[in-house]
Chain A
Amino acid sequence: MKFLGNLSWDAIPWNSPLPLIAGGGVIAICIAIAAWIVLAGHLPYLWKEWITSVDHKRIGVMYILLGLVMTLRGFADAILMRTHQAYAYRADGYLPPEHFDQIFTSHGTIMIFFGAMPLMIGLMNFVIPLQLGVRDVAFPTWNSTSLWLTAAGALLVNISLVVGVFSRAGWLPYPPLSELEFSPDVGVDYYLWALLISGVGTLVTGINFVTTILKMRAPGMGYLRMSMYCWTALASNLLIVAAFPILTATLVMLTLDRYLGFHFFTAAGGGNMMMFINLIWAWGHPEVYILVLPAFGIFSEIISTFSNKPLFGYRSMVIATLGICIISFLVWLHHFFTMGAGGTVNAAFGIATSVIAVVTGVKVFNWLFTMYGGRIHYKTPMLWALGFLVTFVIGGMTGVLLAVPPADFLLHNSLFLVAHFHNTIIGGVVFGAFAGIAYWFPKAFGFRLHEGWGVAAFWFTIAAFYAVFIPLYMVGLLGMPRRMQHYDMEMWRPFILAAMVGIFLFGVALICQVIQLVVSIRQRERLRDETGDPWSGRSLEWATPSPPPIFNFAVQPTVYGEEPYWELKRRAIASQQNEGRYEAIKLPRNNATGFVTGFFASVIGFAMVWKIWWLAILGLVAAYAVFVWYAWRDIPEEKISAEEVARIDRAHRKSRAEWLARHSEKGNMA
């Protein structure tokens, strides 16, 4: 047995310059950043205040950072694919199939698991405890562990860029293509271990948030007084708890096939590939709602805040959310109508799918009626919300079209399908993330983002989205399948070229966002939010200073209605005038459990990919040891004295009062 398993110098792609240069560049940047951190003496701060933090707000910010960086990585893949196809008409383009196939696989995998998921989970992390009026999530150390397990998965996917290869079997690795016989290299193994590890993290997040929302609300906050975002987060996390075990089990079966010669999904030996496809979509369809439900919640908050009205039809929205939660488990077969299940089965799943559209439609109407009779202020978050409404309705319509089996027999696996799900994921999830970031950024960092650049980013994104995906819808109707490394059909070409122009517009939008961030940081004094309530918000997070102190609320708020903060403002009590009774606050102590577990999880994953058995065992033992060590700690909590709490809270009151005095003549508070 070799000491390093199957790992050797050949694993590094010496003869393919593209990934090597890209990977080298990324490594160089990472080393440079790390060196700067160490040399400038930031390491202790970073370690104590961020990496080992169990504060939900910091974990949320780190999740979002991870999501943004990975979205960038996935976007690079998208540029490669779009430009490649532009050159692949009756030609080979510039990416040979073995690269092109890796790129669309890593694009999908990264965007869903390490881009969109961390963005959504990050926003929930930051906002939900604040909106519930509590000090943290139910299990803070688990929360940190979830983050670092997700990061470990992301790391593995990116290591595969330089050490070995990534999977070439698509973001959902259908067998038999993903079995050892047809994918003998380590690509699928990287995929499997990355998702097995991050999947555990996501499941723990789900448990954590379900517990938090069910068990830890501020006094007076009955279920029907929770914000819409809390409801959609609850639904999303219930789906995580129900669906992610299916994903993990399915991937474990594929792993057993590949590592131990099992026959769950092989064509030979009594396996059945259709079982994989059923199982993966039994997770996969709920997954798309895991992503989009929190975005629905974000838009509910934003539309109501910027329309200066409560959310219309709150109860109806709650029912619709829970309806989606249940129905999304009953429709998975619409992803493979073309596997030939028969008329009745196809029809049943087609109809079930369109019922989701009814429930989603209800939500759309309620958002519209929220705007009706409002006074709508078009700040960046509201622009994203409007862009979402228009875009998502179109995506929902094409979704229902694909749910009509005879139409799906013409459109399945075409670029029309690709356009559909980008329409819903970009228009729903990505817009939602951008809207949420713009909306809660001042809460997190104490200053607003620059409006002008935000508006520019919005319009470029909208233009880019339609420039890319209208052509893809059309070329899908012309019969062009997804994942083509080259093509000979002349009629497809103009559309592919148009889509390439669109992807460059996306690049411009991205640059606008980067500039926005830089400009905002430089002008942070001018953009400072001294009130803690820059948008005249309606839920509890706006009752805290920006950024909120580590304990969130100096005095536990009590809730009187559906819009707790709005009620407080209307009654003009407690949070505005009088101080509460300050008491000492106990908080969980920062600890490295999550980071160390994540580290060893990466080691295990890497060792398993290359079959370095001793290292895998070592990693497992070490990870277990960390848990034991954590369980035996003596002082799990630290205490913040009542005086300290009072000092922080009074400072905030003072700055808010000053701000109000300065602006009172403008009558800023609604």
Chain B
Amino acid sequence: MVLLAGCSGGVLDPKGQIAVQESEILLNSVGTMLIIVAPTLLATLAFAWWFRASNRKARYLPDWVFSGRLELINWGYPLLIILFLGGLIWMGSHRLDPFRPIAAAGKQLEVQVVSLDWKWLFIYPEQSVASVNELVLPVETPVHFSITSATVMNSFFVPQLGGMIAAMPGMITQLHLKADHMGDLWGLSTQFSGDGFAGMHFDVRVKSNEDFERWVEYARKSACDLDHAGYAALLRESQNVRPFVYRSVIPALFVKIVTGKVSPPNATAEQGSSVVACPETAQ
């Protein structure tokens, strides 16, 4: 673990408030359990060694089968540890409930996330732009994600920001994250969703507030519209999709996806190609 903490990029190298707290709980739990696990492992090896048949110095107690005091320890010691751990679980589960907003000064950003076969769509409703396989976030700003799926179940996860959560068709899950450092991270789906699953990773770019505004401007100048035709094209299966942006989004698209009220792909799309309509690369 110590070795890994040095390694960058994993869940033990957090870059946001939630991930910091979650990895802290992870390490605390391991530490708590080692209080009981480490002695147990040592005792196992010690007993196994000392009481080997060939060791004539070891005392042989062929009828020693019960000890009330030991039973008390047997039950009491793990119970104590778990009592402590239970406290950790109780507080942690509430404090880090993904539905719970992050208390911070300033406005929170709304991002709507849709998993598709096999890519991610990020809608910025307030900016009315959208992006595919690229999540751009302003630094130190709490973000509220609403997450659903336009296909099978997936799971939204940015390891260094924490808080994995399912994306399910017909349902909305919510997640609150905050990125604390500028830089490039990555995210992916962790719930197997079919043949293109392995390619469902996305870039996460944490920018300064000004750069974020600049990115929104850039997106508005893109050539792609997420209108009905655009969405129909997006629905079609595609794998390992390069990131690109949309300058406009169907109003309330997210809610329509959740309630199943967008027109199905075959109704509007005629193009035979399985390539997403606007595969232009960002920046």
A175 contact set on B, CB distance < 8 A:
152
> How many residues on A have C-beta within 8 angstroms of the other chain's C-beta atoms?
88
A267 contact set on B, CB distance < 8 A:
169-170, 260
Residue of B whose beta carbon sits closest to that of A370: B65
A397 contact set on B, CB distance < 8 A:
30, 33-34, 37
B92 contact set on A, CB distance < 8 A:
347, 404-406
- Structural contact, B93 and A344, CB atoms closer than 8 A: yes
* A486–B41 alpha-carbon span in the complex (Å): 37
B183 contact set on A, CB distance < 8 A:
none
- Which A375-400 residues sit within 8 Å CB-CB of chain B? 375-378, 386, 389-390, 393-394, 397, 400
- Structural contact, B74 and A366, CB atoms closer than 8 A: yes
Q: Smallest distance from the beta carbon of A107 to chain B beta carbons, Å?
A: 13
Q: B275 at the A/B interface (Cβ < 8 Å)?
A: no
B93 contact set on A, CB distance < 8 A:
343-344, 346-347, 350, 405-406
Stretch of B186-194, B213-221, B223-231, B242-250 on the interface side: B186-194
* A406–B90 alpha-carbon span in the complex (Å): 10
- Structural contact, B155 and A406, CB atoms closer than 8 A: no
Q: Smallest distance from the beta carbon of B78 to chain A beta carbons, Å?
A: 4
B21, B77, B82: residue with the most chain A Cβ atoms closer than 10 Å: B82
- Structural contact, B190 and A368, CB atoms closer than 8 A: no
How many A-B contacts at CB < 8 Å in the complex? 276
- Which A194-234 residues sit within 8 Å CB-CB of chain B? none
Q: Smallest distance from the beta carbon of B91 to chain A beta carbons, Å?
A: 8
- Structural contact, B66 and A313, CB atoms closer than 8 A: yes
Stretch of A285-293, A408-416, A620-628 on the interface side: A408-416
- Structural contact, A362 and B29, CB atoms closer than 8 A: no
- Structural contact, A486 and B198, CB atoms closer than 8 A: yes
Q: A43 at the A/B interface (Cβ < 8 Å)?
A: no
Stretch of B45-53, B105-113, B134-142 on the interface side: B45-53
Stretch of B56-64, B122-130, B204-212 on the interface side: B56-64
- Which B166-211 residues sit within 8 Å CB-CB of chain A? 166, 168-171, 173-174, 186, 188-199, 201
Which of B19, B61, B90, B153 is within 8 Å of A273, CB to CB? B153
B10, B52, B88, B170: residue with the most chain A Cβ atoms closer than 10 Å: B10
- Structural contact, B7 and A357, CB atoms closer than 8 A: no
- Structural contact, A405 and B164, CB atoms closer than 8 A: no
Q: A336 at the A/B interface (Cβ < 8 Å)?
A: yes
Beyond A176-B153, A308-B62, A406-B96, whether A414 also contacts B190 by CB under 8 A is yes
* A601–B28 alpha-carbon span in the complex (Å): 52
A40 contact set on B, CB distance < 8 A:
none
A308 contact set on B, CB distance < 8 A:
53, 60, 62
Beyond A390-B41, A390-B44, whether A409 also contacts B162 by CB under 8 A is yes
Q: Smallest distance from the beta carbon of A69 to chain B beta carbons, Å?
A: 28
* A566–B101 alpha-carbon span in the complex (Å): 64
Q: Smallest distance from the beta carbon of A306 to chain B beta carbons, Å?
A: 9
- Which A469-522 residues sit within 8 Å CB-CB of chain B? 474, 477-479, 481-489, 491
Q: B26 at the A/B interface (Cβ < 8 Å)?
A: yes
Which of A311, A338, A373 is within 8 Å of B166, CB to CB? A338
B157 contact set on A, CB distance < 8 A:
479, 481
- Structural contact, B195 and A410, CB atoms closer than 8 A: no
- Structural contact, A361 and B36, CB atoms closer than 8 A: yes
Residue of A whose beta carbon sits closest to that of B189: A481
* A346–B92 alpha-carbon span in the complex (Å): 10
- Main secondary structure on B side of the interface with A: mixed
A441 contact set on B, CB distance < 8 A:
none
Which of B9, B23, B77, B155 is within 8 Å of A491, CB to CB? B9
Q: Smallest distance from the beta carbon of A573 to chain B beta carbons, Å?
A: 20
B61 contact set on A, CB distance < 8 A:
309, 372-374
> How many residues on B have C-beta within 8 angstroms of the other chain's C-beta atoms?
97
- Which B1-40 residues sit within 8 Å CB-CB of chain A? 1, 3-4, 7-12, 19, 21-23, 25-26, 29-30, 33-34, 36-37, 40
- Structural contact, B195 and A97, CB atoms closer than 8 A: yes
Q: B265 at the A/B interface (Cβ < 8 Å)?
A: no
A667 contact set on B, CB distance < 8 A:
none
* A489–B168 alpha-carbon span in the complex (Å): 26
- Structural contact, A479 and B11, CB atoms closer than 8 A: yes
Beyond A478-B10, A483-B192, whether A338 also contacts B164 by CB under 8 A is yes
Which of A182, A274, A313, A371 is within 8 Å of B152, CB to CB? A182
Q: Smallest distance from the beta carbon of B238 to chain A beta carbons, Å?
A: 13
- Structural contact, B166 and A336, CB atoms closer than 8 A: yes
- Structural contact, B98 and A409, CB atoms closer than 8 A: yes
Q: Smallest distance from the beta carbon of A451 to chain B beta carbons, Å?
A: 15
* A273–B154 alpha-carbon span in the complex (Å): 12
* A169–B193 alpha-carbon span in the complex (Å): 8
Beyond A362-B75, A376-B48, A405-B92, whether A477 also contacts B194 by CB under 8 A is no
Q: A369 at the A/B interface (Cβ < 8 Å)?
A: yes
Which of A316, A344, A400 is within 8 Å of B85, CB to CB? A400
Which of A311, A403, A409 is within 8 Å of B65, CB to CB? A311
- Structural contact, B75 and A358, CB atoms closer than 8 A: yes
- Structural contact, A361 and B78, CB atoms closer than 8 A: yes
Beyond A362-B74, A409-B162, whether A404 also contacts B88 by CB under 8 A is yes
Q: Smallest distance from the beta carbon of A254 to chain B beta carbons, Å?
A: 14
Q: Smallest distance from the beta carbon of B210 to chain A beta carbons, Å?
A: 30
- Structural contact, B196 and A354, CB atoms closer than 8 A: no
Residue of B whose beta carbon sits closest to that of A405: B93
Q: Smallest distance from the beta carbon of B265 to chain A beta carbons, Å?
A: 12
A177 contact set on B, CB distance < 8 A:
152-153, 192-194
Q: B97 at the A/B interface (Cβ < 8 Å)?
A: yes
Over the window 407-426 of chain A, the binary record of Cβ atoms lying under 8 Å from chain B Cβ atoms (1 yes, 0 no) is 10111111000000000000
Q: B256 at the A/B interface (Cβ < 8 Å)?
A: no
A169 contact set on B, CB distance < 8 A:
192
* A474–B71 alpha-carbon span in the complex (Å): 36
* A311–B66 alpha-carbon span in the complex (Å): 9
- Structural contact, A354 and B86, CB atoms closer than 8 A: yes
A413 contact set on B, CB distance < 8 A:
155, 164, 190-192
A351 contact set on B, CB distance < 8 A:
82, 86, 89-90
Q: A575 at the A/B interface (Cβ < 8 Å)?
A: no
- Structural contact, A407 and B199, CB atoms closer than 8 A: no
B47 contact set on A, CB distance < 8 A:
368, 371-372
- Structural contact, B201 and A488, CB atoms closer than 8 A: yes
Residue of B whose beta carbon sits closest to that of A410: B11
Residue of A whose beta carbon sits closest to that of B22: A406
Q: B282 at the A/B interface (Cβ < 8 Å)?
A: no
- Structural contact, A340 and B85, CB atoms closer than 8 A: no
* A169–B194 alpha-carbon span in the complex (Å): 7
Contacts beyond the supplied A371-B47, A404-B25, A409-B162: 8 A-B pairs with Cβ under 8 Å: A308-B60, A351-B82, A368-B43, A393-B44, A400-B33, A411-B11, A477-B10, A484-B198
The 10 closest A-B pairs by CB, nearest first: A373-B61, A479-B159, A478-B10, A347-B93, A361-B78, A343-B97, A267-B169, A343-B94, A97-B195, A413-B190
Q: Which residues of A are in contact with B by a Cβ distance under 8 Å?
A: 97-98, 101, 168-170, 174-177, 182, 267-268, 273-274, 307-316, 336, 338-340, 342-344, 346-347, 350-351, 354-355, 357-358, 361-362, 364-366, 368-369, 371-378, 386, 389-390, 393-394, 397, 400-401, 403-407, 409-414, 474, 477-479, 481-489, 491
> Can you name 24 A-B pairs with beta carbons within 8 Å?
A176-B169, A339-B173, A340-B165, A342-B99, A344-B93, A346-B97, A357-B82, A371-B48, A373-B58, A374-B60, A376-B52, A386-B44, A397-B30, A397-B37, A401-B26, A404-B85, A404-B92, A407-B26, A412-B155, A478-B11, A479-B9, A479-B159, A482-B192, A488-B201
